[in-house]
Structure 1
């Protein structure tokens, strides 16, 4: 099943389903949003059973609706850094001996086709296509053997990063990762049965039509069970939490000379089975 959320004609964000034939239906009659309570109570399976008898009653969703982030705001976004050997090499870093983790503010979440807004004083905003996963049950000190049972689904993520904030302003990476619009998610969350082996997925990103990232999750340094188990030693993972598993080579920071996003640029990205997203880069504008 592929879970979407979209903005309806009343301006409300409501849940839906992206079906195999490409059509979309509104499942707001199910009565639940895709949030912690939904994922923590076996929501995808309950929704699938509900659809067996109610799908025909669900309104169709037009192809031109604005897609929202496919999950309601989670309690946290945890990211794994330097998880592809080629990416570590291009940034001049030594491959880590254990997972590098950092946080990304949940206020950074935006829809898959919403613009990336350059924050005030930004000079080095970068792109990062990533496979992210959504946690489906409370997890603390889980073993690697138990870890995959904690996955509710997978989602495409652009881990937008302001490198000057991240690396030149002192402190932790979170400062360069958390501006509004810096976490486009979607278009959908795919349940594990839709994906097969998440360690064999092609992921790519284009900047203004030019392919700059093209890799495969088979190049992970630390696989998904390792990442989930490791993170759960340091914090409790809640249903709906997002873990982003790192980006491959091809980011602007690794180019010689460096190349960063500017107003008017268009970023397109995708992962096998998880669809594509598109973000236009816009300038920050202060609100009254």
Structure 2
């Protein structure tokens, strides 16, 4: 299934994209797409519905983040071998973990705001993993059983804040609007192999990132298993699993960063597209 959340004059409502690509309103059956909705029995109930009987949505959809009430926003750094190479980093021995503040989460087509003082705001298309059932001390072999679904994430990053402000990467990762998620939460049963998904990112119509999740140093299952040894992963936790090459700081001979008026377009095979206009804060 492809679940989503959309904005109306009456607030955010849940939706479902049917097999024909028609957007449907789901609000008569569930109140929202939240951690509680990710319970396998709830998802099974939604899956059993006659989607064609749900009200059809007309006009342009104003997508909200595809999961509400996100728990932890966990991110894995330098998880693509070709990205590590482009930025001159050594491939890590264990997954590099950092956090994004949940307050950075926005919808897939919302504005990216360049914060005051920023000169190096960058883009990163990433596969997002949404946890559906609690995971603690899980094995690699059973890790994917705890996944509710997958989505597109733009791990927007301010490189000076990230690397020069003394502290953790979180400083450059958590600015307002730096976490677009969606448009859809594609349930795990529709993603045959999370390690075989093409990713891309265009800036102002120019292809900057092209990659595939088969280049991950640590697979989705390995990441989940590793994190579950350190903390319990709860329903509604989101994991951004790293980015392929082509980020702004990796451009040769000179780095390229976002400016007011730019447009970012991201896509992951089967998971949908994002489009974000970029605006500078006053």
Instruction: Give 5+ residue unaligned stretches, structure 2.
Output: none
Q: Which residue does 2:36 correspond to in 1?
A: 37
1:274 aligns with one of 268, 271, 274: 271
Instruction: Give the drift of 1:18.
Output: 1.2
Distance across 2 between alignment mates of 1:70 and 1:124: 27
1:46 and 1:169 map into 2 onto residues whose CA distance is 48
Q: Match of 2:259? A: 262
More off after superposition, 33-42 vs 223-232: 33-42
Structure 1 residues 181 and 42: alpha-carbon distance in aligned structure 2, compared to 1, 3 A threshold: farther
Matched, 1:26 2:25: yes
* Displacement after TM superposition at 1:235 (Å): 1.4
Q: CA deviation at 1:56?
A: 4.7
Partner of 1:229: 225
Length-normalised TM-score, structure 1 = 0.95
Q: 1:11 to 1:119 in 2, by over 3 A?
A: farther
2:14–2:30 Cα contact (<8 Å) kept? no
- Aligned residues between the structures: 281
Q: Name the structure 2 match of 1:3.
A: 3
1:100 Cα deviation from its structure 2 partner:
0.4
**C-alpha spacing 1:118/1:148, structure 2 compared with 1 (3 Å):** same
CA contact (8 A) 1:40 1:138 kept: no
Q: How much does 1:257 deviate? A: 0.8
Query: Secondary structure in 2 aligned to 1:112?
Result: coil
Q: Which residue of 2 aligns with 1:117?
A: 113
> Considering only aligned residues, what root-mean-square deviation do their CA atoms show, in Å?
1.2
Task: Give 2:66's aligned residue.
Answer: 70
Moved more, 276-285 or 220-229: 276-285
**Residue 87 of structure 1: which of 76, 83, 99 is its match?**
83
**8 Å contact from structure 1 (residues 129, 205) kept in 2:** yes
CA distance in 2, matches of 1:237, 1:195: 21
Seen in structure 2, the aligned counterparts of structure 1 residues 282 and 11 have a Cα distance that, compared at 3 Å, is: farther
Q: Is the 8 A contact 2:153 2:180 kept in 1?
A: yes
C-alpha deviation, 1:67, in angstroms: 0.7
Unaligned residue ranges in structure 1 (runs of 5+)? none
Question: Structure 1 residues 196, 105: CA separation in 2 closer, same or farther (over 3 Å shift)?
Answer: same
Cα distance in 1 between the residues matched to 2:52 and 2:205: 39
TM-score (norm 2): 0.97
Q: Map residues 1-288 of structure 1 onto 2, 5 A cutoff.
A: 1-8=1-8, 10-40=9-39, 42-49=41-48, 51-52=49-50, 55-255=51-251, 256-285=253-282
- Once residues 172 and 63 of structure 1 are traced to their aligned partners in structure 2, the CA distance between those partners, rounded to angstroms, is 43
| Between 56-65 and 228-237, the greater mean CA deviation after superposition | 56-65
Report deviation, 1:65.
2.2
**What is the CA deviation profile of residues 90-118 of structure 1, one whole-angstrom value per residue up to 9, with x for unaligned ones?**
11110001110111111111111111011
Structure 1 residue 239, shift from structure 2 partner: 0.3
Q: Contact 1:153 / 1:189 at 8 angstroms: preserved in 2? A: yes
